[in-house]
Amino acid sequence: MHFWRSKSDGHSNKPKDNYGNFDSDEEGKGHSPTPFLKGGKHFDIQAYASNYHRSTKILRLIFIADRFGNANERRRRMQLEALRIAYDIAKKGNDVNVFIKIVRKIDGRLGPNYDMDENWCNSVIEGRRVMSEMLQRCAKNCEKSYTERTICAEDARNVFNSIAVFYEDHGALTRAYAFYKKSVHFCRSDKNYSELLRRLIVVVIELGQFEASGEIAEKGMQYPNLNPITMETLRCALGLARFKAHCYKDAAHQLLGVSKELGNRFSKVMAAHDIATFGALCALATFDPIEFKTSVIDNQNFHFYLDSALEVKELVRDFYLRRYCSCFRHLDNLREWLLADIYFFNHYETLYNKIRNRALIVYTEPFVAVGLQRVAVVFGTNIEAIEKQLLALINTNQIQADVDSINKVVHFPRHEGNGSFPQGLQSSVAEFDQYIIN
């Protein structure tokens, strides 16, 4: 094992970097440290897919294939690799529609072993038809029997729950949702209600109804006797709903609060490294330095998730130590993966810009004046680009400053002694730098 260490960037108010011991007695349960990221920027699709449950695994692989397209040879290979894995997984399931969709996308490019299998499709369709007719009769008989009080609520719940599971397995999510909702009326125990909420929230998310999933999660979390895993599942789902609504600060608060007990148990939607990535990047984009310290740096529970996404953990550390050039290099390394993520792809550029703006605000806050050349070096860019970014922040009143374009200096009208990093905040870097990487 080795320790994190920092290098000075020349900033006079930069927190000191020390050795030490950061509590690290909890090994990662249910996750591994982003093994799918290779060589910094590229990721192993097979290793990536292994983090997820079958249904979301297929959805993510199809999305990756759509995003990569045929831009170049490497991306074409990755697209076909995603479709090959998706084909193999779909063939082990019962969702004919998604299988046909994958075959059409492959379009014969993977050879005869990955062509349409009509016999398999017809077999699954016939089996579904027979079972569906039987289950519909069973549902009618169940409702009648319950009304006549010849069966108990638990028996009725089992029937409707089994029907919902059947339709979910066959990709008929709207029908699955309807039967899960029916089974709500027959829940008579905390255990059953907790299980139902976990199943229901997944179906609603897969249907793309994020606003509805947020409402279900928020309402479900008010139930007094949910088991801990269901509570954390709903918290995670609420965080995702807030994220999709561009409420990044709310999303951060929810995801940073997800207990490590959840681990990778929500892999039908998000793996442990997703919780780390979404939570950390939302916090970087929206938290002020003090809130970032208390909610991320001092959050021992969230360190468990950061251990599943080491590139993100390094990014967080570099941001906190104000090593911004390295910080944004890590963020660039995550670009390809995040642009291929089914939930994150259309948020990457927004969050990247928000994080960069936040970094500029934090870095310049202690100064009375600073040269543009110095800022450009710290942020790994040129004078023209950093001047443009600073002017944008000034024009939107996010920074109070004047740019001397002739002498390439930024002046900040401040009261003496003003700064954003109180002593207690500066000293906490010693604690964060004691985090052991195994």
The domain locations on the chain are 32-346
Check whether 436 has a pLDDT greater than 70.
Answer: no
More confident residue, 406 or 413: 406
Q: How far apart are CA 201 and CA 248, in angstroms?
A: 20
Q: What residues contact 180, with CB distance under 8 A and at least 6 apart? A: 160, 161, 164, 196, 199, 200, 203
CATH class of 32-346: mainly alpha
Name residue, tokens 């994220």: 243
Q: Residues 205-232: what's their mean pLDDT?
A: 95
- Least confident span in 82-96, 128-142, 416-430: 416-430
More confident residue, 28 or 334: 334
Check whether 38 has a pLDDT greater than 60.
Answer: no
Q: Residues 364-386: what's their mean pLDDT?
A: 94
pLDDT at 34: 59
More confident residue, 400 or 42: 400
Helix (H) or strand (E) holding 437: strand 436-437
44 band by pLDDT with thresholds 50, 70 and 90: confident
pLDDT at 37: 65
Check whether 117 has a pLDDT greater than 90.
Answer: yes
Q: How far apart are CA 54 and CA 123, in angstroms?
A: 20
Q: Residues 104-113: what's their mean pLDDT?
A: 96
Question: How far is CA 372 from each of CA 50, 327, 364, 381, 407, rounded to the nearest angstrom?
Answer: 46, 19, 11, 10, 9
| DSSP letter for each residue of 32-89 | -S-TTEETTTEE-HHHHHTTS-HHHHHHHHHHHHHHHTTSSHHHHHHHHHHHHHHHHH
> CB 397: neighbour CB atoms within 10 A?
7
Q: Residues 205-219: what's their mean pLDDT?
A: 96
More confident residue, 421 or 274: 274
Check whether 277 has a pLDDT greater than 50.
Answer: yes
